[in-house]
Amino acid sequence: MALGWSVIILGCIGQLSAQILNYTQPRDLELLEGRLLRVLSRLNLEEEYNTLLVYGKECVFHSLLRKLEIPAVTVLSGSTDYDWSFSTATLVLSCGSDAENEENSYTLLKLQRTRRLIYLDDNSEPESVCMRYSLKEQHNIAMVKSNFDQSDIFYSCRLFQTPNYVEGHFFKDQPIYIENFQNMRGATIRTVPDILVPRTIVYRDEKSGETKMLGYLAHMINTYAQKLNAKLQFIDTEKLGVKKPSVLDIMNWVKEDIVDIGTTLASSLQFKNMDSVWYPYLLTGYCLMVPVPAKMPYNLVYSMIVDPLVLSIIFVMLCLFSVLIIYTQQLSWKNLTLANILLNDKSLRGLLGQSFPFPANPSKHLKLIIFVLCFASVMITTMYEAYLQSYFTQPPSEPYIRSFQDIGNSSLKMAISRMEVNVLTSLNNSHFREISEDHLLIFDDLSEYLVLRDSFNTSFIFPVSVDRWNGYEEQQKLFAEPAFYLATNLCFNQFMLFSPPLRRYLPHRHLFDDHMMRQHEFGLVTFWKSQSFIEMVRLGLASMEDLSKKTNVGLDFLKPSASITEISRMAKDDELDMGIT
């Protein structure tokens, strides 16, 4: 009997418990949804978004979509099959710590900095979740657990600290997301300098023994590292099998994620997509620096100012004045001979502006003839004296090169590096095809080519960017006469962008782009470029002497493995005019 009553009582208790459970579960879910809606509203106030991207299988986020008037995309499989190329502000919601398994590289790049809110309904620890997303270089991560409606506690990932997350209360004035890279706390940024002066000058500090950089590009990289409280780590390129890295080498290391930011500039002629480069640092042209034509020798000035037509007119005037003077003096043609006409004393002296004996009691006609003769002599002598004084003061120069075809008609050759030839050939540049191979001197060694160009050797024409020409123009202010001029009408490309190569998934590339724009905005890039030549002179990499008269500078002085100390010593000892390091 007691056993029966026990069974009945237990059955009633079970039914009552089931009813209570069925009542509390929807109520708890409703409370959780209300809390999460408040979280989404707060995130929208902090940084507006207009699209939701939900990863993972069914969870509380899916039920929230019915209450939101915002476009949403659900990805149950955790990865999209298309490129996320919508120009929208997106918020990513993940149903679990392993719900997002995006494999599309372009979508990953597009959503790398997007804020993520993860719902943890399992036993996942925030530390492990932050570590997992950190390996994917995604750092704007926040997490809530299933008891968020009761605790109001959220977890946010924080880089450069231990532990790698913080625990915050939703109703307290605590940021959910921060810019982690505003303070990198001494973390390193890997870089490789291209060692191309004046934009990058690498040297070893005598006091600290550390490797440092100067130059208008190096200054931008240095100030960026200082701004983020980071350190520059110079990759040992010899371990990678390269002693003197080129721009192409650095770009390849950037693509292989060996280098974060390359201290070099890749031109728009060298890259076809924006995966490894981003905001342009320089906008310039790619033109020719041409030797200033030589002045005409003084012994040729006389032959230049004597025009055959003018000389013929003067001879006719001589004969005409001789005839008129002979006839007017005696009113007879008796003395009219060829010798008297060509060697008439009064006519010759008169046209040369010299005095001559005037006949006594001259007639009115003779006076008029003598007056016209004196006027003609003044005009002729004044004209030629003006020409002579002008040309002796500033002799005219030889013809300028005004087209690419004129290079073939001149005695000058164009010196160019093999790398530039390959780029121009691959682009099928029409101007480059106008220059015959006989007028090209191609250098396989880039360093040798740069030494020749920096020596102002007037036996060659050199291609140069307008940006680099500014440095040459500044140096030529020290010359007695400029050795080269920039032919703005002889450009292979007048609109060329130069950008530092960046690692594709560099998480702080937006800060780097902002830093570059601010340097230009405040005029620091222009200032650094104006100081480049002074820095080169200070380090012994450039000379302040007049190189305009030196046309032959040897290329054997620079050793391929010479250090900056050796180059500086050689420059001070006048063993070379300019070193490249």
For residues 179 and 229, is the Cβ–Cβ distance under 8 A? no
Give φ, ψ of 491 to 5 degrees: -120, 135
Q: Could you report the per-residue pLDDT of 318-370, keeping only the tens digit for each?
A: 888 888 877 787 766 777 777 777 777 778 777 877 777 777 777 778 788 88
The secondary structure of the chain in percent helix, strand, coil, rounded to multiples of 5, reads 45, 20, 40
Q: What is the pLDDT of residue 386?
A: 83
Cα(488)–Cα(494) distance, rounded to whole angstroms?
Answer: 9
**Sheet of strand 153-157: strand arrangement:** 72-75, 51-55, 90-94, 115-120, 141-145, 153-157, 165-169
For residues 32 and 13, is the Cβ–Cβ distance under 8 A? no
Q: Long-range CB contacts (< 8 A, 24+ apart) of 98-106?
A: 98/132, 99/55, 99/56, 99/57, 100/55, 100/56, 101/55, 101/77, 102/55, 102/78, 103/79, 104/79, 104/80
Q: Could you report the per-residue pLDDT of 424-478, keeping only the tens digit for each?
A: 998 888 999 999 888 999 999 888 998 899 889 999 999 999 888 988 888 898 8
CA nearest to 413, candidates 377, 438, 380, 450: 438
Q: Which amino acid, one-letter code, is at 20?
A: I
CA nearest to 470, candidates 294, 218, 287: 287
- Is the model's pLDDT at 1 over the cut of 90? no
Tally of CB atoms within 10 A around 9: 10
Q: Which residue has the higher pLDDT, 115 or 408?
A: 115
Q: Which residue has the tokens 């001029």?
A: 485
- For CATH 3.40.50, list the domain ranges present in the chain: 28-178
HEC-encoded secondary structure of 69-95: CCCEEEECCCCCCCCCCCCCCEEEEEC
**Residue 65 DSSP class:** G
Q: Pick the most confident of 221-230, 261-270, 570-579.
A: 221-230
**Residue 478 DSSP class:** T
Three-class secondary structure of residue 168 per DSSP: strand
CA nearest to 290, candidates 555, 475, 552, 472: 472
- Is the model's pLDDT at 579 over the cut of 60? no
| Preceding omega of 71 cis (within 30 degrees of 0) | no
- Is the model's pLDDT at 484 over the cut of 70? yes
Q: What is the pLDDT of residue 449?
A: 92
Looking at CATH, the fold of the domain delimited by 28-178 is given as Rossmann fold (3.40.50)
Of the chain, the percentage scoring pLDDT greater than 90 comes to: 36
Q: Could you report the per-residue pLDDT of 30-74, keeping only the tens digit for each?
A: 888 889 999 999 999 999 999 999 999 889 999 898 888 888 999
Cα(22)–Cα(11) distance, rounded to whole angstroms?
Answer: 17
pTM above threshold 0.85: no
Q: Could you report the per-residue pLDDT of 90-107, keeping only the tens digit for each?
A: 999 999 988 999 888 888
